[in-house]
Chains A and B, each alone.
Chain A
């Protein structure tokens, strides 16, 4: 992607219709890139304002669930004057195909970007077949 073109603001998308949140606060869908390399699937999500201890990654019934919570205490005693975006926790889930090794999921968090590395199972990796 060219780095010199001006960036535009991407409006946050609210998480709707999952029906599992019991608190009234809104959740947002983190902007996510998914890339596939030879041996892994990389899921890269933007979760600004989230500390590593507030990230919850779960695999349940072939679904990868990511929840990332912001620290609202940082806004204590602050009175909003002007706003351009809303704040809230982040949540998103993905169905995992059988080519993913569910035991080998790695995660790193850097500058508000969460990178999940989903290793492929051995059988799903490309193999070179020799002619016998």
Chain B
């Protein structure tokens, strides 16, 4: 089911519950860097296409590298934490480092038409489903 947000309060809660239920979804098959690696991602379907929403707070656009080959998407990059010279540290919860993750999708995507957007620490990848992968209506002769 698709979500339409008329009431921003109830629906967010329902949406959070729906996301929780899919935490053990096996839509992405196990692969070397399947689940649990950085950066964490959510995958959605929007009409025929797939949208990947990835949280990368503090990662600059220029530090991200996205590659697509067949139906495998690779996301690599570096997250730099500014240390700011002479500062004493009271609390450290953010972590920096490098990441490299490859995801193999169970559908065929049109690699030439993939769009990527990075805004406010969220990377969104729009993956159009390949025409040849779309279901076709068969008319009965």
Contact = CB atoms under 8 A, between A and B. Distances in A.
8 contacts: A2-B97, A33-B89, A36-B90, A77-B47, A79-B2, A81-B50, A82-B28, A112-B55
Determine the interface band of chain A, counting residues with CB < 8 A from chain B: 35 or more
B78 A46 contact: no
A113 interface: yes
Contacts of B42: 80, 82-85, 87
B3 A3 contact: no
B112 interface: no
A42 B88 CA distance: 10
B70 interface: no
B94 A32 contact: yes
Contacts of A23: 9, 12-13
A21 to B, nearest CB: 10
Interface string A22-55: 0111100001111111100110101111110000
A47 B93 CA distance: 13
Interface in B49-67: 50-51, 55-61
A123 interface: no
Given A82-B27, A85-B42, A73 B90 contact: no
Contacts of A34: 89-91
Contacts of B87: 35-37, 42
Nearest to B100: A6
Interface string B1-32: 11111001111110110111011010110000
B120 interface: yes
Nearest to A38: B86
A46 B13 contact: no
A86 interface: yes
Interface string B91-132: 111111111100000000000000000101110000000000
A5 B38 CA distance: 12
B90 to A, nearest CB: 4
A85 B83 CA distance: 27
A1 interface: yes
